[in-house]
Structure 1
């Protein structure tokens, strides 16, 4: 009789320990990923909830038609849209070869005084590449067309 009680107590201890270990590892993973969880934002999300000026994140959408302005030096201005909202972007540097109006792009940087100041721009010509988050954001606004297969 005493033996079965001991086994049951031991089993409860193991289950309790496993639960604590699982909760701890989940908390650690969440803590490690906290910077990456809200890394991607669509223009409509930025308008709805403007990020802090010191927060680095990614914006994605389509380069708005007629919005590219090549200014003095290497500063380029353009707008990114998801069909619901449009965000002005500034970028200093050389744009990817495939960067064009009405094409998908992802930029990394900060949103300061209503302008997304990009530190990096990624562009792809092929819609099949377009990051899932960009496609989802465009679909949410009813703008995305499936590529012709």
Structure 2
């Protein structure tokens, strides 16, 4: 597996998991900032959509969505376009430095940062926020606090 393939794999893994497996160093921080500064709210929501579509492929989740192969293809193309632009134009020098200084894990951390922004944007929607708090009407915490 060549260096470019490894880098792209790290980007995809980092985007899909939306978690950071490494402590961010200065080069990773610079890449994270560049990615954040060079993606729009719509692009970050598109990233979240891509993650959602990916998660819907899990056998335990398939019955919860009606996502088609065409939807998956469209989301993959959209994400590839965004990542290509970021890595070859907007954040090229930051990406190169992060890879040289801090390795592929820097891409996981950097893309997790924009994934986090995407989730914050989605969670700020009142319908989404309500959906995530709706379970509380079924809580019975009295036995736990007595």
TM-score (normalizing by structure 2): 0.23
Higher strand share: 1
Larger Rg: 1
Higher helix share: 2
TM-score (normalizing by structure 1): 0.22
Larger RCO (CA under 8 A, 6+ residues apart): 2
